[in-house]
Structure 1
Amino acid sequence: MDWICENGGLEANQLNNLTVKGEFAELSENNGEGFLETPVVETEKFKEITPSWNSRTDKDSSVEFFIRLRVEDNWTPYVSYGLWSTDGNNIGVKNYYKDEIIRATDDRIFVLDGKFGDAVQIKVVMRGKNPKLKLIAFSTDAGEDEPVEGDYLRTLANVPLISQLASGHKDAHVICSPTSLTMALKYHGKNVELDQVTRGTFDTGNEAYGNWPQNAAFAGEMGMRAYTKKCKSINPVKNFIANGIPVVASVCMNSKEDLDGAISSFSGGHLMVVVGFDVIDDIEYVVVNDPAANSNTEVRKYYRLDQWVKVWRHYIYAVTP
C-alpha cells in the first residue's frame, strides 16, 4: 500500500505557521519554525513500513520527519528520521527507536511479536530560512498487487553506466546507493555528479550512504518526485520500465552463487538500477546497471529474473519527473 500526499493535498493537513503556496508548504514567517501534521491515516494491516519526503532546503534550513503507528489500538511515540538538509548538512539518528511493539531502522519500521499496524500519522517540523515541503509518503507491505500494464520487455539504454568501484571515492566499496541514484538522476537530465550525491545522501547518524528515505529526499531536492516503495511482486518494477522509468532496487544475499554473474555476496545489502527486462532462449532476465563493477563498461548486467527476485528485498526508490 502506498500513501502519498502532495500538491493540493497538503492543505488537508493541520498547518502550524505554514502556508501552502502552489505545490509547496512553506513557513508563514520566512525564518522560524512550523509544522504539518496529517490526520490519522487508516490502512490495511501491515508488518513493515517505509517513509519518504521531498523538500527544498539549504544550509540555513531543515525539515524533520516524524511518523507514528497504531498497533492494536495502541499508538507508538512519534519516531524521528533526523534533521534533513541538503548538501551534506543533515543530522542523522544514531539510535533509532525500539520498544516491545516496533523496531525502527534507518529506512523501515517493523511491527514486532506477530502484531500488525493499522493506522499511521505523520508530522513534519520545518525550521530555518524558508524550507519548503513538497511531498510526504509511506509504503507498507499491505494491499493488493498491481497488474502488469504495458510493454516491459525493453531496455532503457540511456541510463548512464557508473561504477562505484572505479569512481575513486574514498568509500567506493559502500556507495552503491548514491551511485545508483546518480545514474537515475542523470537519466532524467539532472546535472549532478557522484561526489555531490554521496555528500548529499550521507547519513551522519549511522555514517552510511544507503539510507533509503534520505536518498529519495535528495532526489526530491533535485526537483524529482521520489519515494521509497515496498513491492508485492516484480509487477510494479515492470510497470515503471514500461513507462520509461528506471528504478533503484535493494538486494541482499548470503552467497554470490545465489545470483549468477554477481561480483559479491552483498550480505549487508546492495543497490542497483533496474533498466529493463529481456527474454533470451526462453529465460527471462532483469537488465540492471550494477554499480559493483570494476569499470564503467562492466556495469550493465543481465541477471536471471528467477534468481534475482529471490535476493531482491522487494523495495525500490521510485524516482520520477
Structure 2
Amino acid sequence: MRRLTSSIVLTLALVLPLLGSPAQAAPARRIDYTSWDTPAQLRTGALAAVRLRSGALALTAGATSGRWTSPWTRPGFRLNRLIASWSARTPGDSRVRIEVRGRAGTTRSSWDTLAVWASGDRFVRRTTASGQADDLGSVNVDTWVVPGGVTAYRLRVTLVRAAGQKASPTVDEVGAMASLLPDTADVTTSRPGVASVPGGLVLDVPRYSQMAHSGDYAEYGGGGEAWCSPTSTSMVLGYYDALPAPRAYSWVADGHVDPWVDHAARMTYDYDYDGTGNWPFNTAYAAAQTGRAFVTRLRSLREAERFIAAGIPLVASIAFGRGELTGAPISASDGHLLVIVGFTDSGDVVVNDPAAATRAGVRRTYDRGEFEDAWIPASGGTVYVITDAAHPLPANSPGNW
C-alpha cells in the first residue's frame, strides 16, 4: 500500500487555489518533468568538491562530501507539487542527500531535504524527512508541497562517503516533476490513442503477486498489501530481463516465492515513512538495474498509450472506493500501485495488478473511465517510468508527454 501524497491525504482543497467557476472550461493540468542527465546538462549546475567522471557526478580526490546544485528552473507555471528523482550508486559507506528550494517573486525558501538515500542498507538507513514546514513549502514523504506555489526551483545533491574510503558515490541523473493540478475530482474519460490499435497492444510483462509474500519480513513492511510498489517495480524489471542477480537476494529464506520481490522491498524501504511505497525510492532502485527510471505525472491514458506503443510499461498509483473499479482483486484502496501493460482495441486498460492472490489472477482489464477516475484525481496521474537503452522514451511535448 502507498499513502498518496495528492488528494487522498492532503485533500483536494490544498491542491491549489480555485481556478474559476464551474461554468468555465476545466483548467489545464500543468506538468513538467525536467532532468539533468547528459554531461552537458550536468555541467550547467554548480559543482563544489564534485567532478564529472564517466558521465556521472563523483567526489573529487580526498573529499568526503561535495555538492551539485542545479540552475534555477522555471516550469512556466506556479508549481505547488514537486517530486524529485535520481539515479545513483553508493558503494561502501556512502550516500546522497536530495534537497529542493523554491522562489516566489523575491522570496526564496530554505533548502528542504527530500531524501537521504543509499542503494544498500548496511551503513545507511534511507529516509525521507516529512515536515520542514518553516517557510514556503513542506515535505510529505516524497513530495514537496507548496500551498502558495513557486515559479522556480533548484535541486541540490550532496554526495558523502566515509573518511578514508576511496570509492565515491556517483549520480548520473537528477530530475524533478513539477505540477499544478486543478482543484477538481471531475475527470473526462480520454479517447483511445495510439496503443488502442485493432486487436489491442499488450506488453509481455511477467506477473507477480504481492499477496504471495504475506507475512514476509516485518522489518520491511511484512509483505502482502504493503508490497504493491516493490512487486510492481519487480514486474517491470522482469520485463526488461533486469532483475537483480541471485546473489543479491541470497539472504531471502529458502521457499519464498519470487525472492527478488523481497529484495526489492528491502531496497526501497523508507525508514522514516516506514514503508516500501516511496515513489522515487522505487525508481532509484530500478534505475540501477535498467539504466533509467523516474517519477512523473501524465494527464490521461492517451499519454500512457504513447509509452506502451514505445514498449515501456508504466507503474501507476491509484486509489478507489468500493465498487469504483470493476474487476479489481481488492474491494477498495486509499493507495495502490499496479502496472499498465497494454490496451484493448476499445481503449480499456490492461494491467498487471499485484493485489491478486496468485500469479494467475494478476492480469486484469479495467474500464478506461473507471481507471482514470481512480488514477488522475487520486495521485495526479503519477507513474514510474522505467526503461532501458533499447526502449527510448517517446518524443515529448515541452516538458512532458
TM normalised by structure 1 equals 0.91
Counterpart CA distance in 1 for 2:196 and 2:62 is 46
CA deviation vs aligned residue, 1:193-243 (integer Å, no higher than 9, x gap)? 112111100001111110001111111222421110021222321111010
Q: CA deviation at 1:99?
A: 4.1
Q: CA deviation at 1:285?
A: 1.0
The residue number in structure 2 matching 1:44 is 76
Contact 1:256 1:263 in 2 (8 A): no
- Secondary structure (helix, strand or coil) at the match of 2:211 reads coil
Of 90, 115, 122, the residue aligned with 2:125 is 90
More strand by share: 1
The residue number in structure 2 matching 1:202 is 269
Q: CA deviation at 1:151?
A: 3.8
Give runs of ≥4 in structure 1 deviating > 3 Å. 147-157
Alpha-carbon distance change, 110 to 82 in structure 1, aligned in 2, over 3 angstroms: closer
Amino acid of the residue matched to residue 219 of structure 1? A
The residue number in structure 1 matching 2:205 is 159
Aligned-residue identity in percent = 27
Amino acid of the residue matched to residue 315 of structure 2? V
**In the alignment, structure 1 residue 3 sits paired with structure 2 residue 34:** yes
Amino acid of the residue matched to residue 98 of structure 1? A
**In the alignment, structure 1 residue 277 sits paired with structure 2 residue 334:** no
Gaps of 5+ in 1: none
Amino acid of the residue matched to residue 82 of structure 1? A
Gaps of 5+ in 2: 1-31, 162-166, 182-190, 217-221, 245-259, 389-401
The residue number in structure 2 matching 1:12 is 44
Of 362, 373, 378, the residue aligned with 1:310 is 373
**In the alignment, structure 1 residue 134 sits paired with structure 2 residue 172:** yes
Amino acid of the residue matched to residue 278 of structure 1? T
Counterpart CA distance in 2 for 1:76 and 1:245 is 37
Counterpart CA distance in 2 for 1:103 and 1:201 is 22
Counterpart CA distance in 2 for 1:27 and 1:135 is 15
**In the alignment, structure 1 residue 58 sits paired with structure 2 residue 95:** no
The residue number in structure 2 matching 1:184 is 236
**In the alignment, structure 1 residue 289 sits paired with structure 2 residue 352:** yes
Alpha-carbon distance change, 267 to 75 in structure 1, aligned in 2, over 3 angstroms: farther
The residue number in structure 2 matching 1:103 is 138
Counterpart CA distance in 1 for 2:63 and 2:358 is 46
Name the stretch that deviates more: 257-266 or 175-184: 257-266
Write the mapping of 1:116-127 to structure 2, written as runs, cut at 5 A. 116-127=149-160
The residue number in structure 1 matching 2:318 is 251
Amino acid of the residue matched to residue 371 of structure 2? W
Counterpart CA distance in 1 for 2:322 and 2:331 is 4
Amino acid of the residue matched to residue 318 of structure 2? V
CA deviation vs aligned residue, 1:96-153 (integer Å, no higher than 9, x gap)? 32246323212222221xx22210101000011310001111112259xxx9984454
- RMSD over aligned Cα atoms: 2.1
Counterpart CA distance in 1 for 2:204 and 2:62 is 41
Counterpart CA distance in 2 for 1:300 and 1:67 is 38
Counterpart CA distance in 1 for 2:49 and 2:307 is 37
Counterpart CA distance in 2 for 1:103 and 1:19 is 31
Counterpart CA distance in 1 for 2:329 and 2:322 is 7
Aligned length in residues:
312
**In the alignment, structure 1 residue 27 sits paired with structure 2 residue 59:** yes
Contact 1:57 1:221 in 2 (8 A): no
The residue number in structure 2 matching 1:173 is 225
Contact 1:155 1:287 in 2 (8 A): no
Counterpart CA distance in 2 for 1:152 and 1:6 is 32
Alpha-carbon distance change, 148 to 62 in structure 1, aligned in 2, over 3 angstroms: farther
Amino acid of the residue matched to residue 215 of structure 1? N
TM normalised by structure 2 equals 0.73
Alpha-carbon distance change, 265 to 110 in structure 1, aligned in 2, over 3 angstroms: farther
- Secondary structure (helix, strand or coil) at the match of 2:238 reads helix
Alpha-carbon distance change, 80 to 320 in structure 1, aligned in 2, over 3 angstroms: same
Counterpart CA distance in 2 for 1:148 and 1:30 is 56
CA deviation vs aligned residue, 1:252-302 (integer Å, no higher than 9, x gap)? 12x2311101233544300000000113xxx53100000000000100010
Contact 1:148 1:236 in 2 (8 A): no
